[in-house]
Copies of this chain bind each other. A is one copy, B any other.
Amino acid sequence: MPRKVANLLALAVLGTVVQRPMHPYEIASFLRARGKGADMEIKWGSLYTVVRNLAKHEFIEVVDSQRAGARPERTIYRITDAGRAELRDWTRELVATAPPEHPRFKAGLSMLSVLPPEEAAAALRERLDELDQATAAQRALLAEHADVPRLFLVEIEYELAVREAEVTWVRGLLAELTTETFPGLAAWRTWHATGEIAPEHAELAERGAHREEPDE
């Protein structure tokens, strides 16, 4: 049985209202102000749906609703005990388990053969640039927040570590491509120059097949 409110935005909401009661817009600004928007894109449409669902399942409840002048009414929510429990349990689950994820880059790599090798190499080079920029930006962030307890910055450290590995791996692949040491490079190039479809590909389709899902 999955979480009653599965959207990860709900986790961010719980993690915010646990601090003090707030109304949705305030939650959003809070999330936004703090780089939480980096952990979890804030979709305005989703926010209100998620908050409503959290309330429906009694993870949060209405404290009161004020109105300042003729502005739209602000409904203030507070976390419940069930909500606090959900927040902890969910966090625990996210940390403890590693269900298979499907990053976009992995999808791209799995289709790499549709690009001619030159183009693939160019794309990888572009990616390296982007990765470098992202790394620089995050390092700057860490430096800037040297006074914030590390506990609140672990996700950033994690991302840096993982991205560094990605950079290393991509550089390795790229090197194999540019030095022509990647096995099968010639064949790969050939069937892009001549016919569209890989001969190996077909063979692979039949044979290489049946790799079972690793249940990761």
Interface size, chain A (Cβ < 8 Å): 102
- A210 close to chain B: CB less than 8 A: yes
Residues from 41 to 96 in A contacting B, C-beta threshold 8 Å: 41, 84, 87-88, 90-96
Assembly of this chain: how many copies?
A: 2
Determine if B152 and A158 form an interchain contact, defined as CB atoms under 8 angstroms apart.
no
On chain B, the residues within 8 Å of A107 by CB distance are 8, 11-12, 39-40, 94
Interface string of A132-158 (1 = CB under 8 A from B): 011001100100110111111011011
Contact for A154 among B100, B168, B173, B208, CB less than 8 A: B173
Determine if B204 and A106 form an interchain contact, defined as CB atoms under 8 angstroms apart.
no
Complex Cα distance A195/B169, Å?
A: 45
- A180 close to chain B: CB less than 8 A: no
Determine if A106 and B168 form an interchain contact, defined as CB atoms under 8 angstroms apart.
no
Determine if A214 and B141 form an interchain contact, defined as CB atoms under 8 angstroms apart.
yes
Determine if B211 and A141 form an interchain contact, defined as CB atoms under 8 angstroms apart.
yes
List 8 other contacts, CB 8 Å, given A134-B214, A147-B208.
A92-B108, A112-B151, A134-B216, A138-B214, A150-B184, A157-B169, A162-B165, A162-B169
Binding site for B on A (CB under 8 A): 8, 11-12, 15, 18-19, 30, 33-41, 84, 87-88, 90-115, 119-120, 122-124, 126-127, 130-131, 133-134, 137-138, 141, 144-145, 147-152, 154-155, 157-159, 161-162, 164-166, 168-169, 173, 182-184, 187-188, 196-197, 200-202, 204-205, 207-216
